[in-house]
Amino acid sequence: MLRKMLLVKAIFLTLVMLPISPVNAQDIPRTADGRPDFNGLWQALGAAHWSVEPAAADFPPLPVLGAFGASQASVGVVVGGEIPYTPEARAQQQANAADWLSLDPLVKCYMPGIPRANYLPFPFQIVQSPEHLIFAYEFASASRIVYVDRPDFEAPVFSWMGHSRAHFEGDTLVIDVTDQVPDTWLDHAGNHHSDALRVTERYTHRGPDVIIYEATLEDPNTYTRPWTMRMPLYRRLDENAQLLEFKCVEFTEELIYGEYRKQEE
C-alpha cells in the first residue's frame, strides 16, 4: 500500500507541476467588451471529488456496493501534493474519512460549497455579463452570483456557497470567495475547513475549450499556510449539452428522515 501511495504521489507531482502553456490572446474567446468570455457549459475530469490529495483506490463504504461503490485512485490536485493542515485539523480529516458516508454533507444533498462545486462529476454553466457572472451547478441545482468590480460589497450573511466578488487581472478572471459556512467539505476524503476560509479562484483560458482553474485556500484555523489546487475544466462539446436536473433532496429523504416514518400497525 505504501509503495502504491508513493507511486501515485510521484505521478501527481509530475503532472501538477507542469507549467501552464501560454495562449495567444487571439485564441481566447471574448465578449463584446473585450474581456475573456467564460460563457458555456464546463466540467472537470478526474477523481478530485474523491480526494484532492493523492490517494489509492479503496473499498466501498458498504460491501454491498462492490466495485461500483469503491473510491477511485486520485493523483490529486493540490500543488505540492499535501494540504498543510495543523496537527489537530489533520486528525479531524482522518476521522472524517473513516466515516465519510455518515458525515459528508454532500451525501445528504447539502450545497457543495466552493471550490468543491467546480470538480464534482457534474457539469456547471457560466453565464457572463459585464456586472455579474452566474454559476449554475447541476448537483442539487446549486448556484451562485459573482459580483464583478464590487470589492466593497460585503456579504449579508454566511452561506453554503459563500460570497463571490470578481475582477480581471489581464485575461485571468479572479474571484474572491468568503463567508462560507464551515460545514462543507472539499471531497469524500474528509478534507475540511473552518468559517475563516477564504478562497481565491483564478480562471485562465488555455484555448477556446479549456480553462485552467486554480483555487488558493487560506484558513488560519485549519491550515498552517495558504495552499493551492489546480486542474483543467473542459467545455462540454457533446450534442445538445445542457444542465439536467439533479434535485437530490428526494433521494435523501429515507436516509435523513426514515427513522421518523410512522410504523405500520
pLDDT tens per residue across span 69-115: 999 999 999 999 999 999 999 999 999 999 999 999 999 999 999 99
Q: What phi, psi does 239 have (nearest 5°)? A: -60, 135
| Res 40 pLDDT > 70 | yes
Please check the confidence at residue 18 and state whether its pLDDT lies above 50.
no
User: Dihedral, CA atoms, 216, 201, 171, 231, nearest 10 degrees?
Assistant: 80
pLDDT computed for residue 15 by the predictor: 46
Q: How far apart are CA 8 and CA 67, in angstroms?
A: 20
Per-residue pLDDT band for 264 (boundaries 50, 70, 90) equals low
Residue 177 pLDDT grade (very low, low, confident, very high; cuts 50, 70, 90): very high
At residue 24, the pLDDT reads 75
Which residues lie across from 126 on neighbouring strands?
Answer: 40, 135
Q: What is the DSSP letter of 91?
A: H
Residue 263 in this model has a pLDDT that exceeds 70: no
Q: At 60, is the secondary structure helix, strand, or coil?
A: coil
pLDDT value of position 258: 85
Predicted TM-score (pTM) of the model is 0.89
- Of all residues in the chain, the percent with pLDDT exceeding 70 is 89
Q: What is residue 9's three-state secondary structure?
A: helix
Q: Are 142 and 117 contacting, i.e. CB atoms less than 8 angstroms apart?
A: yes
CA 243 to chain centre: 17
CA 217 vs. chain centroid, Å, equals: 12
Name the residue with cell 478534507. 191
Min mean pLDDT across 10-19, 61-70, 115-124, 147-156 is at 10-19
**Range of 5-14, 65-74, 133-142, 252-261 with top mean pLDDT:** 133-142
* pLDDT for the residue numbered 262: 65
Q: Which residue has the cell 475549450?
A: 209
The size of the chain, in residues, is 265
